[in-house]
């Protein structure tokens, strides 16, 4: 798995290592306090083979192997939102490490929305399956570092960013500078909300390192995945926002592009798992868990 480390820039700055999952274009992160060796695992993937309905933990295990090799202790398992394009490894990581898992409090609203789509009124209990549900403005400690939570809806109605010193994990809002921004057409999403969230992110200090949720190379002449750029660089050169793009122009570009996109091939599988914190449905009498896929709803 392709990985890259962004070093700490000083006492209040985390070291950040990103791991690229080529199957889904997702980036998983280990954010570590160099002074205490405490780490947070952010948006780690539970591998899934849609053709066979099979899950694996290879990617998550690779992240844990890195943590062990670096002498880190996992203090938090964090997700930014219930992902539509991959399953989250949150529950498995919690079992392996004993660390608490967390997500945004508006995941409750996302769960209510999708319980209707799946016709599973009692399937999702977010308060049961996550140890912390963060609100906008909450803060918590990662070793000696402070982590600040910012609500950034648009891609989903409950997406949150984690800001740790000069590093911000901004999930499916921005993409890399040469790719632009993320889609806003999923249920509960909105290009208006996404615009407002992007402006909030770009109001962070110019030297803030922004770590995005996805990349899909090749892009132009670039062959390798990329996921880090500063606020200043996005303001100057982001494909969808750079140079002072107006809100109306951005929203038209985003809405027009979103109208051409297909649903991710893992979406209807992934959300029913992610809204359980990365757990499959309760096994039935034969000992197997089953997916429920709505027909002709999308």
Beta 209-212 vs 167-171: how paired, if at all? parallel
pLDDT band at 1 (very low <50, low <70, confident <90, very high): confident
Q: What SS3 class is residue 42?
A: strand
Beta 87-88 vs 101-104: how paired, if at all? unpaired
Spatial distance between the Cα atoms of 43 and 248, rounded to a whole number of angstroms: 31
- pLDDT for residue 298 is more than 90: no
Residue 95 is predicted with a pLDDT of 98
What is the per-residue pLDDT across 220-265, written as a single tens digit (0 to 9) for each?
999 999 999 999 999 999 999 999 999 999 999 999 999 999 999 9
DSSP per residue over 142-179, as a string?
A: ETTEEEEEEE--SSSTT-EEEEETTEEEEESSB--TTT
Spatial distance between the Cα atoms of 31 and 13, rounded to a whole number of angstroms: 10
Q: Which percentage of the chain shows pLDDT scores above 70?
A: 100
What is the per-residue pLDDT across 76-89, written as a single tens digit (0 to 9) for each?
999 999 999 999 99
What is the per-residue pLDDT across 172-188, written as a single tens digit (0 to 9) for each?
999 999 999 999 999 99
Residue 12 is predicted with a pLDDT of 94
Q: Which has the closest alpha carbon to 170: 178, 160, 185, 156?
A: 160
206's tokens: 């110019």
For the chain, the straight-line distance linking the first and the last C-alpha, in angstroms and rounded, comes to 33
What is the third-level CATH fold of 3-262?
A: Metallo-beta-lactamase; Chain A (3.60.15)
Residue 247 near residue 204, CB atoms below 8 Å: no
What is the per-residue pLDDT across 187-207, written as a single tens digit (0 to 9) for each?
999 999 999 999 999 999 999
Spatial distance between the Cα atoms of 239 and 178, rounded to a whole number of angstroms: 5
pLDDT band at 72 (very low <50, low <70, confident <90, very high): very high
DSSP run (H or E) holding 29 = strand 26-33
- pLDDT for residue 64 is more than 90: yes
Q: What is the mean pLDDT of the chain?
A: 97
What is the per-residue pLDDT across 102-138, written as a single tens digit (0 to 9) for each?
999 999 999 999 999 999 999 999 999 999 999 999 9
């Amino acid at each position: 798995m392709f990985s890259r480390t962004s070093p700490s820039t000083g006492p209040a700055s985390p070291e950040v290592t990103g791991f690229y999952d080529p199957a889904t274009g997702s980036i998983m992160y280990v954010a570590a306090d160099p002074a205490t060796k405490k780490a947070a695992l952010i948006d780690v993937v539970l591998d899934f083979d849609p053709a066979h309905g099979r899950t694996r933990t290879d990617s998550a295990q690779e992240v844990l192997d890195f943590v062990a090799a670096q002498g880190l202790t996992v203090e938090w398992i964090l997700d930014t939102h219930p992902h539509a394009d991959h399953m989250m490894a949150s529950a498995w990581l919690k079992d392996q490490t004993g660390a608490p898992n967390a997500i945004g409090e508006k995941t409750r609203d996302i769960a209510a929305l999708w319980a209707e789509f799946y016709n599973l009124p009692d399937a999702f209990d977010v308060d049961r399956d996550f140890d912390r549900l963060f609100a906008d403005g909450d803060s918590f400690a990662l070793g000696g570092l402070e982590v600040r939570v910012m609500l950034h809806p648009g891609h989903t109605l409950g997406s949150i960013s984690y800001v740790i010193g000069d590093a911000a994990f901004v999930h499916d809002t921005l993409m890399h500078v040469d790719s632009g921004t993320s889609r806003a057409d999923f249920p509960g999403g909105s290009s208006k909300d996404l615009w407002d969230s992007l402006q909030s992110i770009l109001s962070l200090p110019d030297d803030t390192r922004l770590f995005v949720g996805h990349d899909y190379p090749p892009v132009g002449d670039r062959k390798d995945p990329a996921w880090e750029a500063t606020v200043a660089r996005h303001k100057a050169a982001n494909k969808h926002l750079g140079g002072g793009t107006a809100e109306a122009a951005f929203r038209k570009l985003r809405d027009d592009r979103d109208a051409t996109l297909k649903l991710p091939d893992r979406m209807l599988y992934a959300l029913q798992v992610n809204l359980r914190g990365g757990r499959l449905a309760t096994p039935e009498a034969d000992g197997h868990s089953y997916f429920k896929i709505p027909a002709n709803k999308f």
